[in-house]
Amino acid sequence: MELTTPRLRLRPFAPVDGDGLFAILGDRESMRYSFPMTREESDSFLERSLLRRKPPAGYALEEREQLGCLAGYVLFCPLEEPGVYELGWFLRRDLWGRGYAYEISQALLDYAFDRLGLNRVEGETIDPGRAGRLLERLGMTRLGEAQVTDCRGRPAALYQYAVTGEQWRERNRLLAFFDAENRRDWACYQTFLHPEVVWELRQPGGPVERICGIPAYLARIRAACEGRDGQFRCEKLKRDEERIEVWLVNDRGERFRERFQFQSGLIWREWEDPRDEV
């Protein structure tokens, strides 16, 4: 398997990747939530799990501008349950903070559900902060936790996450819905709405405004955007079994929260909180 994104290339590992893999798996900071490997352990892992195993336990990540230089190891392999894979990543320390894990994970999840037809992709981490937030931003739901011993021999919680194919498609539709609003493409925008859509907008210090049906919804959003050319982006996304909760930020740095519920693949319910309560 090979995948490319605007900045990255994912490819099978090769025997020449030994030095680059050990630079990641042997680095204590890169492996702070796992177990750093010795050179012997890293070489053995490369041979057994990445070269001989079919399918492999993971793939090599490169920057497209520096092909041949290993940027990371991306875990992507089947679990015991049919139709279920595990996703994870370990990046070279000097490449942290560039959004590479998010970029390649999005591409892998598209591949997992659109090409492989998987039922579910899972992830787990001891780090509920940075890694956990990224898994949630990818649309994964935290399922629970297990007690483990970390690489320093201390008790730790291992947090478990998962996303189904249907949940992934809902998440992508929601991002496309936001993009259509930013472009003021109302013909595209309304295709994401259920005929019986209901939008509940809580006014600051006032009653709830309830907008029902596509025509009323479109009239309300177009009036709100009239004369404005500002853009916004999705800063955070989190979901439970029924709803997707998103935090949006606009060009002025104002943040607001919205919650969505889908039915038959379309936005059926929306709840929006006023900006001054976020």
Residue 6: name the closest of 91, 58, 94, 65 by CA: 65
What is the predicted pLDDT for the residue at 31?
85
Backbone φ, ψ for residue 196 (5° rounding): -105, 30
User: In whole angstroms, what is the distance from residue 236 CA to residue 247 CA?
Assistant: 5
Domains of the chain by start residue, with CATH: 3-166 (3.40.630.30), 183-277 (3.10.450.50)
Statement: the pTM of the whole predicted model exceeds 0.75:
yes
Chain segment 223-236, per-residue pLDDT in tens: 988 877 889 999 88
- Alpha carbon distances (Å) from 158 to 10, 23, 84, 183, 239: 27, 25, 19, 41, 19
What is the predicted pLDDT for the residue at 104?
97
Torsion of CA 141, 3, 70, 7, to 10 degrees: -90
Cα 189-190-193 angle, rounded to 5 deg: 110
Counting every residue written for the chain, the total comes to 278
Does the structure show a pLDDT above 50 at 278? no
Residue 32 DSSP symbol: T
User: In whole angstroms, what is the distance from residue 61 CA to residue 12 CA?
Assistant: 9
Chain segment 253-270, per-residue pLDDT in tens: 888 899 999 999 999 999
What is the predicted pLDDT for the residue at 236?
84
Chain segment 112-171, per-residue pLDDT in tens: 999 999 999 999 998 888 899 999 989 899 988 888 776 566 778 889 999 999 999 999
Chain segment 72-112, per-residue pLDDT in tens: 999 999 999 999 999 999 999 999 999 999 999 999 999 99
